[in-house]
């Protein structure tokens, strides 16, 4: 069980990093990202935690 949780946390970390990287690379006015709902003036850690939470919830299929 611990191995499964560690694996899920690792995958969520890498997915969050990829989402954040894509957001920084492809940020433009015609794309709507979920990061834009956070607001301006927030730190990088807030963006990462938001992406980490969304990627973890995506893995456990929350919201369907």
Say which residue the tokens 């979920």 belong to: 34
How confident is the model at residue 58, as a pLDDT?
81
Kindly state the DSSP code that residue 34 receives in the 8-state scheme: G
For residue 28, the 8-state DSSP code is: -
Tokens at 62, concatenated: 């929350």
CA distance 36 to 33: 6
Mean pLDDT per 10-residue interval, the chain, length 64 residues: 87 85 75 66 77 82 62
SS3 content of the chain, % helix, strand, coil (to 5): 70, 0, 30
pLDDT at 30: 67
pLDDT of residue 37: 66
Q: Cα separation of 47 and 19, whole Å?
A: 10
């Amino acid at each position: 069980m611990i191995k499964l949780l560690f694996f899920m946390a690792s995958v969520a970390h890498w997915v969050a990093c990829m989402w954040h990287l894509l957001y920084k690379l492809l940020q433009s006015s015609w794309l709507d990202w979920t990061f834009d709902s956070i607001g301006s003036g927030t730190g990088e850690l807030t963006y990462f935690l938001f992406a980490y939470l969304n990627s973890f919830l995506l893995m456990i299929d929350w919201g369907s």
